[in-house]
Every structure is written in structure tokens, then in C-alpha cells.
């Protein structure tokens, strides 16, 4: 399930957008969270068209305060991105926030809640962009939707391979 909302508490301030998605997976949170706790797995769930590369050398220990540097390509333009882990609550929740990168603001909350015999994986991304509503409508909204659709497919392949939707891969 995916949803969009525009948060405009003050029309004179930068516009904030909200993207949410949910995916149910069969393993419990204690089995899914370690995949996300390894920063190197981010490349697995990022679409190849972003040319994602982690620049932070060596093993990355995830905890509050961890900084991770990346390089991606957005519509062919190379962009450096740095995020900071601001909340770390294994195996149920963590938050990464952009420190430097393509957005004016990017706050991504990941939740892993026990649901029946499995886990409801929820993403809540609050972001603001440069360029206003035209850039949001033409590029950013579509890109974010495609990135999370790719991610959902990959996570399903990894944690629930027998339940891929026809045509998904």
C-alpha cells in the first residue's frame, strides 16, 4: 500500500511531502531487521538506474549518530548524499535523515511491526525539494514511487519468494 500527502503547515515555508508504503513479509521482525542493519544491503534494494554506491569505507556499525555517505545518479546527474541515523531501536524501528544531498529535507522512518506470523514493514518519508510543485509532479513523486516499488519487489524476492506478483522482478 502506498500513499501520498502534502504537508503545508505554512504556505510561506518550504513545502513538505509525505510518502508512505507498507509491505507484509512472512518472517518476524527479529529476522528482517538484521538485513536493514547491514548498510551494504541498501544497494540490493536500490534500483540499478540510480547507480547507487556507498562511499563510507569499511564496515558501517549502525547506531544513533552513524553517518553514511553515498553517491547516486538522479536522471544521469551524479549526486552525493549523506544520511545520519537519528533513531535506532532494533528490531522494530530506525530513522535516517539526510544531512547533505538532493533534498532540502529527507526524513525516512522504517518500522517493523509483528503482524500475525510475519512483519508489517512500513516506510514513512517526509521530504522537501528544491524547485517547487512542478519538479515534485514531473520528477520526484514518480521517482520515489518507482524506487519504493523496486524495493518492495526485491524484499519480496528475498523474504517471500513464493509470493511474487506476476510480472514483478
Number of H helices, E strands in the chain: 3, 8
* CATH architecture for the domain at 2-163: 2-Layer Sandwich (3.30)
Residue 53 has pLDDT above 60, yes or no: yes
Helix spans in the chain (H): 29-37, 132-135, 141-159
CA distances from 13 to 7, 8, 101, 113, 131 (A): 11, 8, 20, 34, 13
The model carries a pTM of: 0.85
Q: To the nearest whole percent, how much of the chain has pLDDT over 70?
A: 88
- 71-128 pLDDT per residue, tens: 999 989 999 999 999 999 999 999 999 999 999 999 999 999 999 999 999 999 999 8
- What whole-number distance in Å separates Cα of residue 23 and Cα of residue 49? 23
The residue extents of the domains of the chain are 2-163
Give how far the C-alpha of residue 58 lies from the chain's centroid of Cα atoms, to the nearest Å.
22
Amino acid at each position: 500500500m502506498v500513499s501520498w500527502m502534502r504537508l503545508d503547515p505554512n504556505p510561506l515555508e518550504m513545502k513538505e511531502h509525505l510518502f508512505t508504503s507498507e509491505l507484509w513479509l512472512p518472517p518476524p521482525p527479529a529476522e528482517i531487521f538484521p538485513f536493514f542493519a547491514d548498510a551494504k544491503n541498501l544497494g540490493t534494494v536500490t534500483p540499478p538506474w540510480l547507480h547507487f554506491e556507498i562511499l563510507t569505507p569499511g564496515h558501517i556499525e549502525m547506531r544513533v549518530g552513524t553517518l553514511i555517505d553515498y553517491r547516486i545518479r538522479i536522471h544521469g546527474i551524479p549526486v552525493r548524499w549523506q544520511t545520519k541515523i537519528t533513531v535506532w531501536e532494533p528490531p522494530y524501528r530506525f530513522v535516517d535523515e539526510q544531512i547533505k544531498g538532493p533534498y532540502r529535507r529527507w526524513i525516512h522512518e522504517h518500522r517493523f511491526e509483528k503482524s500475525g506470523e510475519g512483519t508489517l514493514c512500513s516506510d514513512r518519508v517526509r521530504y522537501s525539494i528544491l524547485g517547487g510543485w512542478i519538479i515534485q509532479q514531473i520528477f520526484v513523486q514518480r521517482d520515489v514511487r518507482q524506487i519504493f516499488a523496486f524495493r518492495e519487489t526485491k524484499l519480496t524476492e528475498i523474504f517471500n519468494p513464493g509470493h511474487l506478483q506476476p510480472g514483478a522482478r
